[in-house]
Amino acid sequence: MPALDAAVLQDACERDSLPWRVSVTAETGSTSDDLRAVALRGEPPGAVLFAESQTAGRGRRENRWITPPGRDLMLSLLLRPAAPPVLWPRVTTLAALAVCQAIERVLPLRPVIKWPNDIFLGRRKVSGLLAETLNGPEGLMLVLGIGLNVNTRVFPPGIASEATSLALELGDEVRMDLDRHELALALLSALHSHLGRLDSGFSVALREARSRSLLLGRQIRAWQHGREVVGRALDLDEEGRLKLELPDGSLSLLDSAENVRQVY
């Protein structure tokens, strides 16, 4: 499998007028931790770091995301959205839509979003993302980490029943590894487009997020701030929060949640 080439990715970004500064590392613990470190030393927004192998990537609740070398896409981006920071929580919804769009640009697949930050193909997870704020010399910024399973075909026993990859979903249609450069460029382009919708374009993005939701209309169980919440997922509100109808008929808004499970 060809290694990711930072020069190829950077040239394509410049050709398409994308604002990213791309670098690639062979192995790291976490691309997000690496970007956080350089941001605290004064790195301006726009940096993108890909890793061929990541040994300590993380998701919500510090869940680990470990990847085999040269198979998938692991990246983090250093961002300072133009919108006021109060709107920055919307980045998770927009980034999830960008991942879906990038997949669809390249492949005949229909991804859906499992609120708040997972991308599924069918009933299995193919991608996850995590946005975290930091305050460095350049001011308040976001680190957005994304993992996308591209060519991995065998997963560890503990997650094999829950995880998938783009190559696995294409099945017999694909006998060679997918081109990660093409997918990476589609993703960087989609992220640039979608992250510009934090303010006036977010209502349109929400309609798309609702149409892609894996959970709306279903009974779910989730944990928020250490408390179990059970209810029927009704809608996403204007900020992308999940609106639940609880068993007693009352309504609850989840702005974030952990270990969200569909009951039926």
**What's the pLDDT tens digit per position in 193-249?**
999 999 989 999 999 999 999 999 999 998 877 788 899 999 999 999 999 999 999
- Greater confidence, 71 or 224? 71
- Using CA atoms, how far apart are residues 263 and 261, in angstroms rounded to an integer? 6
Q: What is the pLDDT of residue 61?
A: 45
| Tens digits of residue pLDDT in 160-188 | 899 999 999 998 656 678 999 999 999 99
pTM for the complete prediction?
A: 0.93
Q: What is the pLDDT of residue 65?
A: 55
List the CATH code of the domain at 6-211. Answer: 3.30.930.10
- The whole-number average pLDDT for the span 124-129 is 97
Among 11-20, 61-70, 249-258, the least confident range:
61-70
Percent of the chain residues past pLDDT 70, beyond the cut: 92
Mean pLDDT of the chain: 92
List the CATH code of the domain at 219-262. Answer: 2.30.30.100
Q: What is the pLDDT of residue 62?
A: 47
Q: Where are the domains of the chain?
A: 6-211, 219-262
pLDDT at 11 exceeding the cut of 70: yes
